[in-house]
Amino acid sequence: MTSELRDVTGFRGEKIVELRLTDYKTFPEPLFRPAHLGEKWPAIDYLVELTSIPGRRLYFFAQVKSTTIAPSSRSLRISTKKKDIERLLQIPGPTYLLGVHEPSERVFVRSVHIGTPARAITSIPLHYELTAGNLKQLHGEVSRFWPTGHHKPTVSRFA
């Protein structure tokens, strides 16, 4: 894949993530408000705020990985480096990898939490697709984390 095509795939992947996170067909309003952080941030692409929680501004961080490679029967192949995961583990709060299969516009989520090995992650299971049900689960997981006062979550449904 040429550098220019890789850039377009990454750009489109980020826009697809924004569309999936702000989907409101199943909900009265979007569950999330993503804010793109730009190219300067080494570990994260988005700060994602949860909506519909009165009086609270809860959030998570996400790194987006886009690919044109078709998913296998069980997972989406992505490319991360050990350093990516180490950085995500250092960030206080919930952190996730969002894998985008750009041609089909499908997005998959995988948590990077305490207990995640500090090594490259190369796949995300297909059952972690950001469907309406998993968007609701993600919203619940993040909202349950913040009252704990921990540095980082210790478990995730998306592990």
Pairing of strands 106-112, 32-36: unpaired
CATH code for 3-148?
Answer: 3.40.1350.10
What's the pLDDT tens digit per position in 32-90? Answer: 999 999 877 889 999 999 998 888 899 999 999 999 999 999 999 999 999 999 999 99
Read off the DSSP letter of residue 129: B
Please say if the pLDDT value at position 122 is more than 70. yes
Residue 5: pLDDT band (50, 70, 90) is: low
For the chain, give every domain's residue range. Answer: 3-148
59/146 Cα distance (integer angstroms)? 9
What percent of the chain has pLDDT above 70?
99
Could you give the residue ranges of the DSSP H alpha helices within the chain? Answer: 3-21, 82-90, 132-145
* Burial of 32 per CB tally in 10 Å (0-12, 13-18, 19+): buried
What's the pLDDT tens digit per position in 75-109? Answer: 999 999 999 999 999 999 999 999 999 999 999 99
Backbone angles phi, psi at 142, to 5 degrees: -70, -40
Tokens of 59: 């959030």
Residue 8: pLDDT band (50, 70, 90) is: confident
Spatial CB neighbours of 10, under 8 Å, sequence gap ≥ 6: 64, 66
